[in-house]
Chains A and B, each alone.
Chain A
Amino acid sequence: MNSSTTKTFFITLGSVLFLFAVWEIGAHYVGQEILLPSPQKTFIHLISIFVSPSFWSTIGATIARGIMGFAISLVIAVFLGLVAGFYRPFFWLLQPWVTVIKTTPVMSIVILAIIWFETDAVPVFVAFLIIFPIIYGNVVMGIRNVDRPLLEMARMYKVKTRRIVIELFTPSIMPYLLAGVSTAMGLTWKVIIAAEILSQPSFAIGTELMKGKINFETANVFAWTVVAIMISFIFESFIQFLEIRLNRWGSSL
Chain B
Amino acid sequence: MSKLVPLVPLFPLIGFLVIGLCRNSLSKSVTGIIGCGMIGVSFLLSLFIFQEVRQPGFETVIVTCFDFIHADTLNIPFAFQVDALSVLFLLIITGVGFLIHVYSTAYMHEEESPHFARYFSYLNLFVFSMLLLVLGANYVIMFIGWEGVGLCSYLLIGFWFKNIDFDNAAKKAFIMNRIGDLGFLVAIFWMINQFGSVSFSDVFAKAPVTSTGALTGITLLLFVGATGKSAQIPLYTWLPDAMAGPTPVSALIHAATMVTAGIYMVARSHLLYSLSPASQTVVAVIGLSTAIFAATIALKQNDIKKGLAYSTVSQLGYMFLGLGVGAYTGAVFHVMTHAFFKALLFLCAGSVIHAIHNEQDIRKMGGLRKFMPVTHICCLLACLAISGIPPFSGFFSKDEILAAAYGKNPIYYFIAVAGTFLTGLYMFRLYAMTFLGDFRGTSEQEKHLKESPPAMTFPLIVLAILSVIGGFVGIPEVFADHAHLLGRFLEPVLNGTAQKKAEANPELILMLVSLLAAGAGVVYALVRFSKKPELGEARGFGKILANKWYVDEFYQAIIVRPLNGLAKFLNSFVEKSIIDWIVNGIGRLIQYGSRQIRLLQSGQVGGYVLLMVIGMVILFLIQLLVKK
Question: Is chain B found bound to chain A in the same assembly?
Answer: no
Residues of A within 8 A of B (CB): none
